[in-house]
A and B are shown apart, each in its own frame.
Chain A
């Protein structure tokens, strides 16, 4: 069965600190996709990144970076120089590589960035 674990329930950092959000997944599929979404207080899930299981290249987008390691089944997300606007709940999700592509979400990590 597929499963996503986000062990960090809540993280508080001071503005400008770097922070890493952990995501560990379980799947028997050889082809799958991993995602990160941001859910601000307004509630709408905002897409951040998609990774397929064949692409282990790390990615950087501005202050955001992602580290995908198949050997440890992890897909961690780092925010560099955090800002108050980064405060939100962040979800990691996994989808199968075929069929419905439905998501299995983790329980989320609430990030609080303090000014």
Chain B
């Protein structure tokens, strides 16, 4: 039983470049979440998918950010025209349908914008 995987684990990019991260949830989980964690803080919710539908986006998700989950399987998070303030750990989590379940987190993608 594989857990949530994320790729890449680390990404260093120059300001102004575009980056894309991938998340593969646990196979039977239809709910998928993206969070962002900056140094010394708890993770903050970015967006939520139920199957392929993106049902909620945080106001933290500026128009430079876009997320997709084609076919309700893996998900991608793209950041366009990166800024130094985008430097953070981007975490993906998944869970099954139903109320009494916890989220399972991937190892995260650490983004550094220089």
Question: B45, A103: Cβ atoms under 8 Å?
Answer: yes
Closest beta carbon of chain A to B52's beta carbon, Å: 15
Question: B44, A43: Cβ atoms under 8 Å?
Answer: no
Roughly how many angstroms separate A37 CA and B42 CA in the complex, as a whole number?
11
Question: B99, A108: Cβ atoms under 8 Å?
Answer: no
For B, the interface residue count at a CB cutoff of 8 angstroms equals 28
Q: Which chain A residues numbered 20 to 50 have a C-beta less than 8 Å away from chain B?
A: 33, 35, 37, 42-47, 50
Question: B31, A101: Cβ atoms under 8 Å?
Answer: yes
Question: A47, B31: Cβ atoms under 8 Å?
Answer: no
Asked if A114 is at the interface (CB within 8 A of a chain B CB), the reply is: no
Residue interface mask A3-24, B partner, CB < 8 A = 1: 0101000000000000000000
Roughly how many angstroms separate A93 CA and B95 CA in the complex, as a whole number?
15
Asked if B40 is at the interface (CB within 8 A of a chain A CB), the reply is: yes
Q: How many A-B pairs fall under 8 Å by CB?
A: 64
Roughly how many angstroms separate A6 CA and B40 CA in the complex, as a whole number?
12
Question: A102, B56: Cβ atoms under 8 Å?
Answer: yes
Taking CB atoms, residues of chain B closer than 8 Å to A102 are 33, 45, 48, 56
Asked if B43 is at the interface (CB within 8 A of a chain A CB), the reply is: yes
Asked if A72 is at the interface (CB within 8 A of a chain B CB), the reply is: no
Which 5 A-B residue pairings sit nearest by Cβ, starting from the closest?
A105-B42, A45-B105, A100-B48, A102-B45, A44-B107
What are 18 A-to-B residue pairs whose CB atoms are below 8 Å?
A44-B106, A45-B93, A47-B102, A50-B100, A50-B101, A52-B100, A91-B43, A97-B99, A98-B99, A100-B48, A101-B31, A101-B95, A101-B103, A102-B45, A103-B43, A103-B103, A104-B45, A107-B42
